[in-house]
Every structure is written in C-alpha cells, then in structure tokens.
Amino acid sequence: MRHYDLIIVGASFAGLACARTAALRGLKVGVIERKRDAGEAVRTTGILVKEAAEETDFPSQLTRLIRGVRLYAPNGRFTDHSAPGYYFLATDTPNLLRWMAEEAARAGAALMFDTAFKGGVQGADGVRLPDLNISARLLIGADGPTSTVARAFGLDANQRFLAGVEFELAPDDDLDGRFLHCFLDSKLAPGYIAWAVPGVGVTQVGLAASLGKRPDARAFLDVFTTRLGLRAPRIVGRRSGLIPAGATLKRTFDGRVMLIGDAAGHVSPLTGGGIVQTLRLGRRTAQLAADWIKAGAEHPAQALARETPRFATKLWLRRALDLAPPNWVWNLAFGTTPFRAFAQRLYFHRRGDAVGALPDAAPTVSERTTDERA
Ligand SMILES: Cc1cc2nc3c(=O)[nH]c(=O)nc-3n(C[C@H](O)[C@H](O)[C@H](O)COP(=O)(O)OP(=O)(O)OC[C@H]3O[C@@H](n4cnc5c(N)ncnc54)[C@H](O)[C@@H]3O)c2cc1C
C-alpha cells in the first residue's frame, strides 16, 4: 500500500491549489481525479474576480481582462458599472486547470487521473482507500458540490443549489468586450441572472436558476441574440453544473477527513462565485496541514474554520432572490438610485464607486436601452 501525507480527491480549483502548496511545503501528496485530465468537461464559466487573480499568477495568455459590468433589465434598459483599478478575468478554463495540474505535478504532487474515489476506511492514524491500495494521514475532499467524500464519511452535504447551464459560442466581435453582460430576467433565470462573457477564444452565454426551476439556455440564447442584434450564434461547446447556494457547511471534518471548496460550501450563495474562495482556502488548507504534520500545530480543519466566511448576509439576500421578483418589479426598480447603488456594491464591493461608462468607453451614459447601443 502506497502511503501519502495527503490524499486529495478532485483535481479542480480547490484540490490543485491545495496540492501544489502542500507539495511545495514538503508533504507527500496524492491527487485522485475521476476525469481523464483536469481540463475535461469543465463545469464552470471560470470568471476570476480580481481577488482570485491575485491568489495565483495565472499565465496571461489563458485570461482576458474585462473592466466592467453591463447590467440589463428585462425590458432591455442597461446600466454600466466599473470601479477604478478593478477588473475580472475571463479564462480559457480547460487550459487554466491543465496548467494548475502541471504546476501541482511540478511541485511534486502525484496526480492520478481516471481514478474515482468510491470509499475509504478511517483509523486513528489516517485513512485507507483499499480499492486503490493507497493511504494517507489526511484525506481532503475537494470533489465538488455533490461530494462523495462527504457522503462516505457522514459529513454535511450541500442541500441547496443553483443549476447553471452555458453554451460556448464561436466568438462574436459585436459583443462589447469591455463588459461582463448580466441580464435580470425572472422568467428565464428565476433566482439568478443570465450572462454573456466575451471569453478567451469563445463567447460564453449562460444562465442559472434556483433549483427546482429549469434554466432554459436555448430560450435565453434566442432572447440574447435578438436583443443585442448579434449574428446567429454557432454553438461549439456546452457546460453545466450545480452551484452550492446554502453557504459554508457546519460539519466539514471528522478525524482524518476534511472537505474544502464546493464540497464544503465555500461559495457565495448570492453570486455563486466560488473560485476565489476555493483558491484561497485550498492553498491555506495546505499550509495548515503542513504545520500540523511537520510542527504539531492544531488540526487544519479547526484552524481553517476560523478563516472561512459564513456568508450570513449573502444567505439572506439569496433567500430574497429565490422569490424571483416578477420582471415588472425588476423593470421598475432598475432606474432607481438605490438599485444602482446595490448593483454597484454587489459587483464592486469596497472597490471604488463608479457607476457609468468606463474611461475608454464611448458616450458617458450610465443608463440606456438596448436599441440605443453605441
Ligand atoms: C455553470 C457554473 C458557472 C460558474 N461560474 C463561476 C464563475 O464564473 N466564477 C466563479 O468564481 N465561480 C463560478 N462557479 C462556481 C465555481 O465553478 C466553483 O465554485 C468551483 O469550480 C469549485 O471548485 P472545486 O475545486 O471546489 O470543485 P469542482 O470544480 O466542482 O471540482 C471537483 C472535482 O472533483 C472531481 N470529482 C468529483 N467526484 C469525484 C470522485 N468521486 N473521485 C474523483 N474525483 C472526483 C470532479 O471531476 C472535479 O474535477 C460556477 C459554477 C457553475 C456550475
């Protein structure tokens, strides 16, 4: 039986960030991933907020800088939002994850693809996975929203979700590349939004809805192309997945098993953004695990719990959004100052205050209708 300090289940954002740092800190790390490679069948739009871009130095050719957000009401009016110095990165997500896998391997982690975690046995000194003939002092479940590790060891499992679906389209130059385009529409995306991202080599168009409500990406694609007057889209790929929407789970560890990333509910229940936390807490888990194994520090999961956001306010706002206000309410609210201030805070929380066009934008108009596009 091969023995590791850490076995990490899942080679995505959380698992790979954790694996790289743990290996760099001298731990013997094994990563098991059921996919054949880290970039296969990606289940995310992959947008990085600036804070996520600051967590890891990603190769710039795998990203595309986006400065602002254009937010559309159901009736086609829109407002532009930005903040000085702030940006988002659209990503070539499959290749970004492949790059993260290479970095983890270069640091010394053993990556085992095409290998699924099915169950394990916990003892006082660690965990054994008899079917894979491997064992570790600590098993880390970074295996996403419907974690098998959580189920196998009786830990908390995510119960509330948003369901997301997205088409990758051949790139459309007519889509204004300075913005993430976000659409409020409770008929198409009840409880969430629809989006169009001028991505890296593709345009990504998708939407999500509170679970129990079906997001219809085809219907949105029709509305989106008509509304923005774009060419008939050519679909080149599809992504879909569940987004945990119940905030950080309570029981995320037991003895020698712990959860991180989506598996632990480390996702904003309001925005559905999880990558920033998965990168930050994945890396932090590795540091804490190294301190625990090498220097007898406290259990990494106990230490991590103190540094993990609980998302209490965002959970309340999520409950309000789950009510899916009818479109006329969005239309009515849209032009008001409080609503604009709320949108600005949502996208650019504590990051400056600039509702309106970007400095290099065409006319400085903060609110227009779709027909009035420059
Ligand atoms: C449609 C959609 C769009 C999103 N867009 C964004 C966005 O733009 N920005 C943002 O910040 N967040 C976004 N999110 C959320 C973000 O993608 C997640 O928070 C993030 O991917 C979580 O990373 P993770 O490593 O915890 O889990 P995951 O990315 O879910 O990875 C889990 C990994 O574990 C593997 N795995 C699962 N079970 C097993 C098993 N039994 N054995 C072995 N391997 C296993 C999976 O194959 C996978 O590779 C989006 C989510 C969805 C669904």
> For 287-308, what is each residue's pLDDT tens digit?
999 999 999 999 999 999 999 9
From 7, 9, 12, the mutation candidate for ligand 1 (largest count of ligand atoms within 8 A of CB) is 12
- Cα-Cα-Cα-Cα torsion 148, 152, 158, 161, nearest 10 degrees, comes to 30
Whether 220 is in a domain gets the answer no
Neighbours of 226 (CB within 10 A): 10
Burial of 146 (0-12, 13-18, 19+ CB in 10 A): middle
Into how many domains does the chain fold? 1
| Any atom of ligand 1 within 6 Å of the Cβ of 261 | yes
Rg (CA), the chain: 21
Cα–Cα distance for residue pair 353/348, rounded to 1 Å: 8
Determine the distance separating the centroid of ligand 1 and the alpha carbon of 353, expressed in angstroms. 31
Whether 173 is in a domain gets the answer no
pLDDT given at position 374: 32
Neighbours of 217 (CB within 10 A): 23
| Any atom of ligand 1 within 6 Å of the Cβ of 341 | no
Three-state DSSP class for 125?
A: coil
| CA-proximal residue: ligand 1, atom 19 (nearest) | 274
pLDDT given at position 115: 98
Return the ligand 1 atom nearest residue 264 CA. 26
Whether 289 is in a domain gets the answer yes
Of 309, 218, 327, the closest CA to residue 270 belongs to: 309
Q: What tens digit of pLDDT does each residue of 79-101 get?
A: 999 999 999 999 999 999 999 99
Whether the Cβ atoms of residue 122 and residue 84 lie closer than 8 Å to each other: no
Please check the confidence at residue 257 and state whether its pLDDT lies above 50. yes
| CA-proximal residue: ligand 1, atom 50 (nearest) | 44
Whether 352 is in a domain gets the answer no
Whether 115 is in a domain gets the answer yes
Strands, E assignment, 170-291 = 179-183, 194-198, 203-210, 235-244, 253-254, 257-259
pLDDT given at position 373: 41
Query: In the block, which residue shows the tokens 């990165």?
Result: 89
Determine the distance separating the centroid of ligand 1 and the alpha carbon of 169, expressed in angstroms. 21
Please check the confidence at residue 368 and state whether its pLDDT lies above 70. no
Helix (H) or strand (E) holding 137: strand 134-141
Determine the distance separating the centroid of ligand 1 and the alpha carbon of 134, expressed in angstroms. 24
Whether the Cβ atoms of residue 175 and residue 203 lie closer than 8 Å to each other: yes
Cα–Cα distance for residue pair 357/255, rounded to 1 Å: 52
| Any atom of ligand 1 within 6 Å of the Cβ of 117 | yes
pLDDT given at position 348: 87
| Any atom of ligand 1 within 6 Å of the Cβ of 217 | no
Residue 116 Cα distances to 126, 151, 156, 254, angstroms: 19, 14, 20, 21
Please check the confidence at residue 356 and state whether its pLDDT lies above 60. no
Determine the distance separating the centroid of ligand 1 and the alpha carbon of 235, expressed in angstroms. 22
pLDDT given at position 50: 95
| Any atom of ligand 1 within 6 Å of the Cβ of 10 | yes
Q: What tens digit of pLDDT does each residue of 113-157 get?
A: 999 999 999 999 999 999 999 999 999 999 999 999 999 999 999
Whether 294 is in a domain gets the answer yes
Q: What tens digit of pLDDT does each residue of 187-233 get?
A: 999 999 999 999 999 999 999 999 778 888 888 898 888 888 777 88
pLDDT given at position 365: 32
Return the ligand 1 atom nearest residue 244 CA. 19
Whether 369 is in a domain gets the answer no
Determine the distance separating the centroid of ligand 1 and the alpha carbon of 262, expressed in angstroms. 7
The CATH number that applies at residue 290 is 3.50.50.60
Q: Amino acid letter at 304?
A: L
Whether 362 is in a domain gets the answer no
Q: What tens digit of pLDDT does each residue of 225-255 get?
A: 888 877 788 999 999 999 999 999 999 999 9
| Any atom of ligand 1 within 6 Å of the Cβ of 278 | yes
pLDDT given at position 214: 81
User: What does pTM read for this prediction?
Assistant: 0.94
Q: Kindly indicate the confidence band of residue 185, based on its pLDDT and cuts at 50, 70 and 90.
A: very high
Please check the confidence at residue 261 and state whether its pLDDT lies above 70. yes
Q: What is the residue range of 271's domain?
A: 2-41+91-159+247-314
Tokens of 107: 């640091």
From 149, 275, 277, 279, the mutation candidate for ligand 1 (largest count of ligand atoms within 8 A of CB) is 275
Determine the distance separating the centroid of ligand 1 and the alpha carbon of 239, expressed in angstroms. 11
Q: Which residues contact 15 (CB under 8 A, 6 or more apart)?
A: 8, 9, 31, 33, 140, 142, 143, 260, 261, 282
Neighbours of 238 (CB within 10 A): 12
Q: What tens digit of pLDDT does each residue of 262-284 get?
A: 999 999 999 999 999 999 999 99
Tell me the mean pLDDT in the region 32-59.
Answer: 96
Whether the Cβ atoms of residue 362 and residue 178 lie closer than 8 Å to each other: no
pLDDT given at position 218: 87
Mean pLDDT of the chain: 91
Determine the distance separating the centroid of ligand 1 and the alpha carbon of 43, expressed in angstroms. 6
Q: Amino acid letter at 285?
A: T
φ, ψ for residue 102 (rounded to 5)?
A: -65, -40
Q: Which residues contact 336 (CB under 8 A, 6 or more apart)?
A: none
| High-pLDDT (> 90) share of the chain, % | 79
pLDDT given at position 10: 98
pLDDT given at position 52: 95
Q: What tens digit of pLDDT does each residue of 65-77 get?
A: 999 999 999 999 9
Longest pairwise C-alpha distance within the chain: 67
Please check the confidence at residue 364 and state whether its pLDDT lies above 80. no
The sign one gets for the Cα dihedral 133, 121, 290, 34 is positive
